Chain A
Amino acid sequence: MNPTGLSPHAGVAPAIPHLAIDPFSYGFFDDPYPAHQEMREAGPVVYLDAWNVYGVARYAEVYAVFNDPLTFCSSRGVGLSDFAKEKPWRPPSLILEADPPAHTRTRAVLSKVLSPAVMKRLRDGFMAAAEAKVDELVARGSFDAIPDLAEGYPLSVFPDALGLKAEGRDHLIPYASLVFNAFGPPNELRQQAIERSAPHQAYVMEQCQRDNLAPGGFGACIHAFSDSGEITPAEAPLLVRSLLSAGLDTTVYGIGAAVYCLARFPDQWERLRADPSLARNAFEEAVRFESPVQTFFRTTTRDVELGGVTIPEGEKILMFLGAANRDPRRWEQPDSYDITRKVSGHVGFGSGIHMCVGQLVARLEGEAVLTALARKVGSITMSGEPKRRYNNTLRGLESLPVTFTPA
């Protein structure tokens, strides 16, 4: 790593600001916003001495890194660990941790499995399940919106859509939490998650096998592409694993973010009640506002100029999605949750060739829950202190006690 901050090429190059911020510390997780601002204001590219990585926190540079996947590669890992130097903790993902041309083929398969046309077929079932869940919660009145709604709803639709067996589903959230902690540095969160990973990994690898996936589900659809030759039979289980890793916990955090926003900003809740057709955009804006996926790394494949400075080959760059989504250079009143905002272009689902392949499932779930809330709930009030859940990559709550009154 080259922490000198000086370009090897130019006589007079702007220095890269070195910052002492640790974006994987509990203090940062509790309130990342002052640090986000410090990084954005320090320069287009910063250097984080805590982990010897470059960082980008402004929208323009985050967007640029996402959209140049040959220079800023994923195949050396999208966490801190550099797969060129360190053995990955699990066999690398064939889509997330791959570059073109290998990525192009696997991405095409998952794009077809999770396409807009597939969502149309799922839509009525997902909407009905959300109505049933919200009916149940309105009847209860007071409950914890994280386990009972943010986890409860996706668990009621996603594992079935995937075609998973009923037994063992309690491994799903711990496995996903492990995957997202493992993108972080070797801190307490990552080490503990990996130490406890064996039973969750064993469950997941078993469920990825063709015989364990119900016909008609996403998992069986992926395996069917090995019959027609788009992927090999050995690749199919690893692509199913991608849905198990990234398809559930992310939507838990997304729905949790949306409910937390609506509970905190009653004016926006009233707008949603008055016009439930805003549900889909209200979810999207919550993804921008809270950015449930906060960060991803890339690795440079060559010396590259970015934001007026040169970054050498083989360096890790940390992209701050949450900071880009609140960059005042890109967004008006970035710290306001506004359910009518034109939110297209936010990087909460990433951008470019690696942009979340399951984003349509996430939006369908978010829209279903928020539509049901808008129709059936009169008021949402917080009935206790929210508690944060700590993860190296994901931002969200452990607990959100709320009370719903009927509409």
Chain B
Amino acid sequence: MTTITFIHADNRSQTVEAEDGASIMLAALTHGVDGIVAECGGNAVCATCHVYVEEAWTTKLDPVTDDEDALLDGTAAERLPNSRLSCQIKVQPALAGLVVRIPDRQS
């Protein structure tokens, strides 16, 4: 289990103990974190699990693939340099304490 914190658009924060090996997206759905819609269920089709990764963590994640990059161009909320799709970030002990912000809309 790895501790991940989600901060909602209204600044509410939710910290969950996420299962290693699953995605951040799945951790959000499993722990009832609203605002991560994940319409495609984690198949990298839809861009509705968009998050902003806190600056300190961006370089610690695997880089954005071409597929994810193309999908991020279609996010409903503004794409920022720290935008990621949470289905593409795998929970692992090295990410203990990761903080991600949830945008105000996903579609």
Contact = CB atoms under 8 A, between A and B. Distances in A.
Interface of A: 108, 111-112, 115-120, 280, 284, 342, 344-346, 349, 351-353, 355, 357, 359-360, 363, 367
A360 B43 CA distance: 13
Interface in B51-80: 67, 70-71, 73-75
Contacts of A115: 70-71, 73-74
B39 A118 contact: no
22 contacts: A116-B46, A116-B47, A116-B73, A116-B74, A116-B75, A118-B74, A119-B74, A284-B39, A342-B29, A344-B37, A345-B38, A345-B41, A346-B41, A351-B41, A352-B43, A353-B43, A355-B41, A355-B45, A359-B46, A360-B46, A363-B39, A367-B107
Nearest to A342: B29
Contact of A351 (B29, B43, B70, B107): B43
Contacts of A367: 107
B40 interface: yes
Given A342-B29, A344-B29, A117 B70 contact: yes
A216 to B, nearest CB: 18
A120 B41 CA distance: 20
Interface string B28-46: 0100000001111101011
Given A111-B67, A357-B45, A359-B45, A120 B39 contact: no
Nearest to A108: B67
Given A111-B67, A116-B71, A344 B45 contact: no
Contacts of B107: 280, 363, 367
Contacts of B39: 284, 344, 359, 363
Instruction: Give the top 5 A-B pairs by smallest Cβ distance, nearest first.
Output: A116-B74, A117-B74, A116-B47, A117-B73, A344-B38
A21 B29 CA distance: 36
A367 B73 CA distance: 21
B85 to A, nearest CB: 10
Nearest to A343: B39
With a 10 A CB-CB cut-off, give which of A344, A352, A355 has the most chain B CB atoms.
A344
Interface of B: 29, 37-41, 43, 45-47, 67, 70-71, 73-75, 107
A223 to B, nearest CB: 19
A120 B74 CA distance: 7
B73 A355 contact: no
Contacts of A346: 41
Contacts of A112: 70
Given A284-B39, A357-B45, A367-B107, 16 more contacts: A111-B67, A115-B70, A115-B71, A115-B73, A116-B46, A116-B71, A117-B70, A280-B107, A342-B29, A344-B29, A344-B37, A344-B39, A352-B43, A355-B41, A355-B43, A363-B39
B74 A359 contact: no
Contacts of B43: 351-353, 355
A345 B49 CA distance: 13
With a 10 A CB-CB cut-off, give which of B37, B39, B67, B73 has the most chain A CB atoms.
B39
Contacts of A351: 41, 43
With a 10 A CB-CB cut-off, give which of A108, A346, A360 has the most chain B CB atoms.
A360
Given A284-B39, A344-B38, A111 B74 contact: no
B40 A359 contact: yes
A353 to B, nearest CB: 8
A117 B76 CA distance: 9
Nearest to A344: B38
Contacts of B45: 111, 355, 357, 359-360
A280 B38 CA distance: 13
With a 10 A CB-CB cut-off, give which of B37, B38, B40 has the most chain A CB atoms.
B40
A345 B41 CA distance: 5
A363 B74 CA distance: 14
A231 to B, nearest CB: 17
With a 10 A CB-CB cut-off, give which of A112, A342, A346 has the most chain B CB atoms.
A342
A107 B81 CA distance: 27
A206 B74 CA distance: 32
Contacts of A360: 45-46
A284 B75 CA distance: 19
A210 to B, nearest CB: 24
B73 to A, nearest CB: 4
A108 B45 CA distance: 11
